Amino acid sequence: DIQMTQSPSSLSASVGDRVTITCRASQSINTYLNWYQQKQGKAPKLLIYAASTLQSGVPSRFSGGGSGTDFTLTISSLQPEDFAIYYCHQSYSTLMYTFGQGTKLEIK
Amino acid sequence: QVQLQESGPGLVKPSQTLSLTCSVSGASVSSGSHYWSWVRQPAGKGLEWIGRIYISGSTNYNPSLKSRVTISLDTSNNQFSLKMYSVTAADTAVYYCASNDYYAGWLDPWGQGTLVTVSS
């Protein structure tokens, strides 16, 4: 299986801050990397697919980058509605998708 | 727009079979541009992919669950289903269905999720 490791596991930040979450794959996954946001009691929502493509309707303050094994999700200026849990997901291995363990973004 | 909705019993007894259905609207499960996936999430924990199915009937399953899981399509009702056999308390989770891009695999959209509790 391809292991996905996110860092940090939790993060405290303030409204207006720029934050970056990192996701590392245990082997190269090209750009088959997706990011989701999950709020309490809700289903995950796709933010970014193929490492850097913003899903329709997602604010432009979200951006993604990377390829191979190292990827980032950046929020340029945190808004109150951005406090949530973020998951990366590799879809390179069609036999077995895997998710990162999640990064909880909390208000400082 | 595409919408998915899970349905099924919220309580299953240990050793019995968990059965869930995902109803799809705004898209056809016969579409060649999507797989259809199931994902679960135990309370307070992360996401675990269960498996997926394509219109051809081709399936892929999480190896850790493969021996206990079957995913099937019902094209006449535009639905797909999950059966998980011999469940235990460890299978208690919120179960989500999701549309799965055929080419690059992202999951979007997701159903709202349904909580299944395994308990006697």
Q: Which residues of chain A are within 8 Å of residue B49 when distances are taken between CB atoms?
A: 96-99
Backbone conformation region of residue B104, classed left if phi is above 0, alpha if psi is from -120 to 50, else beta: alpha
Contact A96, A1 (CB under 8 A): yes
**A32:B105 CB<8 A:** yes
At B23-44, the pLDDT tens digits run 999 999 998 899 999 999 999 9
Q: What is the pLDDT of residues A65-87, one digit of tens each?
A: 999 999 999 999 999 999 999 99
Is residue B40 within 8 A of residue B64, CB to CB? The reply is no
Q: In what order do the strands lie in the sheet with A70-75?
A: A4-7, A19-25, A70-75, A62-67
Q: Is residue A95 predicted with pLDDT exceeding 90?
A: no
The arithmetic mean of pLDDT across residues B88-117, rounded, is 97
> For B112, which of A32, A43, A49 is closest by C-beta distance?
A43
In chain B, which residue's Cα lies nearest the Cα of A31? B104
Instruction: Give residue A105's region: left, alpha or beta (phi > 0; psi -120 to 50).
Output: beta
Helix, strand, coil in percent for chain A, rounding step 5: 5, 50, 50
Q: What is the pLDDT of residue B26?
A: 95
